[in-house]
Chain A
Amino acid sequence: MSNKEKHWAKTRGHMLLTLALWAFFSMVVFLFGYEINSMSFLGYPLGYYMTAQGSLLAFVLIIFWFANRQEKIDEEFGFGEKED
């Protein structure tokens, strides 16, 4: 495998992992909205909390993490950009 192919394979893996996290917070959690609503978080019912704030915050953190790790992958294969 060439350098480019390796870089792309790793990028694709990273993408799939990120989308798995995304699917968890956007869909899987809400499959159990009714069930988790009897639990409590910060004093809020958990199902309510996730849709009002929790999942939204998770998405923000996921994207920052995604961007940082992708930058490391790019640098590892020598495709990092010098200037910002």
Chain B
Amino acid sequence: MFKGGFIQNLPKIYGLYTGGFLVFIILMAIAEQAGASAKAIGIMFVAFTVAIYALIGYLSRTVQVDAYYLAGRQVPTVFNGMATAADWMSGASFVALAGGVYFGGYSYMAFLVGWTGGYVLVSTLLAPYLRKFGCYTVPDFIGTRYGGNGVRFCAVLVLVLASFTYVTAQINATGTIAARALGIPFEAGVWVGLVSILLCSMLGGMRAVTWTQVAQYIVLIVAYLIPVFWISNRIGAGVFPHLMLGDEVARIGELEQQFGLVKNSAADVKAAGVPGGLKSIAVPHSGIAAGGMAVWKYISLAICMMVGTASLPHILMRYFTTPSVKSARKSVAWSLFFIFLLYSSAPMLATLSKISLIDPNLPTGIIGKSIADVNNIEWVKQWSSQKQVFIADFNGDGILQLNEWFMRTGVVVLATPEVAGLPYVISGLVAAGGMAAAMSTADGLILAIANALSHDVYYNMIDPKADVRKRLIVARVLLVVIGAAGAYIASMRITSILGAVAWAFDFAMSGLFFPLVLGVWWKRATREGAIAGMLTGLAAGTAYLIYVYPKFMGNPAWLGIDHLRFGLIGAPVCLVVMVVVSLMTKAPDAATQRMVDEVRVPSGKSILGRQH
């Protein structure tokens, strides 16, 4: 099946796979009707999909360096787009994005703009040029363009810091989902998650990760879109929710007026015993605050996420695998298209979920009903026993008010199928989708770190004479070690201390964005400039993070630049230092200048060969 003709047969193979997955969903629905328990269905969904990914990982095993690092540079444009979309959309995107929109409203949606707009930077400034360069890893480009192991090592440093911040959260998410679906403790779930992740990547490196990510994208997008369309049609909101929820958005606005949006005081919340992390609806669904600071907060967050996107190595390296420069460019467009399918659905899911819950005219609405009745609803019972939802009768009238209803953000995606009264098979599907999203991102990140350490540190700095066999053994050992380190940290449950996923974007933007962009767009950029820029940018960003983050020094944010936005300090420092130091040092030699000229032309051979 994976012998000659595999690439030509891709549409057929994944078409069959998608059909098979839909048949599986139908079989599960039949099993549910026949009386299979919710738990059995959950286990089947997760076990079946993970087994498929592992099979793909095994079939994609390889002993070739270019297959291991670059998937043989033959991933077709559209498929690379799907793989990138899966690589991109993490467990957090899948589970928490709609919940974030639900509770955060307009100001949270700066993430949606930031996490998509960054791809315009990727396609215009970087992806086609890095593909022409032909590097195996992002530090490989930095090391060759600027010359020397010092600069290569700095790039590895930033890469590891940014990617590792991100990966523990992903392993954490796989652990949570595996634990819930399989009914095992969280700590065990983390290791089950890790084994599943490594099964996909260890034998085949980038090649295996590519083909499993395509499979994972299909599962996650099906799992996200089916509930959105189903609920929309069920409550009569419209056949195609993305274009037809205007009335529902307006209706939520009316209900907000009617019920009143009350921000509970921290003391009240504490006195009522609301479990930590649960929120009530206190921000307008579609309203926008006026004023300069609100605008700045929105735009500054979007900028950080956009520039960070264009600096994250696990995304950039996906574009090294396309057959040509122009397909790398097109592939960015397809990636964003596939990401758009999910991201544009998140606000729709939030709208549908919210109106199902708060509109008294709908049978599923609970606001304004008696608390005793609400507590008897099956899904409320189940989720409140897990401390995911909570009711606090502040005014003691026995009637549920809008501000008395609390829930965790992840519940919006995980529980909405039940809230809207869909069969349990949909909840099982959503669990499989969340697992796919978390696994695919974790795989991409672990591979990015392991490849940088095996190719850039081990092969380029420590043992340049190592043969192919030895290099690939080292690469795989590192993959396991890094995965285990991530799982170990995740199992200690300290991810909340490690901070937000947004930090990964800020770290990457502080240290890597300008060295990458100027490497292509400014011939005068020198090695010394790049080293100085990366180190000072990273140091300035990190120092500001420590200065401002409440759990560290907790100083007031300067100009509204809080811990989610510290890249706004790091990146400008990096730029200024890099330009000043570059101008003070000797211009790059003629060979380097020629190399940059060559990178700017799409045709011809790549700078670094297939085997290097």
Contacts and interface: CB of A to CB of B under 8 A. Distances in A.
A57 B124 CA distance: 17
A51 B106 contact: yes
Q: Is the interface of A mostly helix, strand, loop or mixed?
A: helix
Chain A interface category by residue count: 35 or more
B125 interface: yes
Interface of B: 77, 101, 106, 109-110, 112-114, 116-117, 119-121, 123-125, 128, 242-247, 249-250, 286-291, 294-295, 298-299, 302-303, 306, 323-327, 329-330, 332-333, 336-337, 340, 343-344, 347-348, 521, 597, 600-603
Given A22-B121, A25-B117, A56-B112, A67 B106 contact: no
Nearest to A8: B600
A29 to B, nearest CB: 9
Contact of A51 (B110, B244, B332, B336): B110
B119 A67 contact: no
Contacts of A27: 299, 302-303
Contact of B247 (A7, A43, A51, A83): A43
B324 A83 contact: yes
Contacts of B289: 34
B326 to A, nearest CB: 5
Interface string A30-46: 11011001001011110
Interface of A: 4, 7-8, 11-12, 15, 18-19, 22, 25-27, 30-31, 33-34, 37, 40, 42-45, 47-48, 51-53, 55-57, 59-60, 62-64, 66-67, 70-71, 74, 78-81, 83-84
B353 to A, nearest CB: 14
13 contacts: A4-B597, A4-B601, A30-B110, A33-B106, A42-B243, A47-B106, A48-B286, A56-B116, A56-B343, A64-B333, A70-B128, A71-B329, A79-B602
* 9 tightest A-B CB contacts, nearest first: A43-B246, A52-B347, A48-B286, A63-B333, A26-B117, A67-B329, A51-B109, A22-B120, A34-B290
A84 to B, nearest CB: 6
Given A34-B288, A52-B347, A15 B125 contact: yes
Contacts of B327: 84
B113 A79 contact: no
A81 B324 contact: yes
Contacts of B298: 30, 33
A79 B326 CA distance: 11
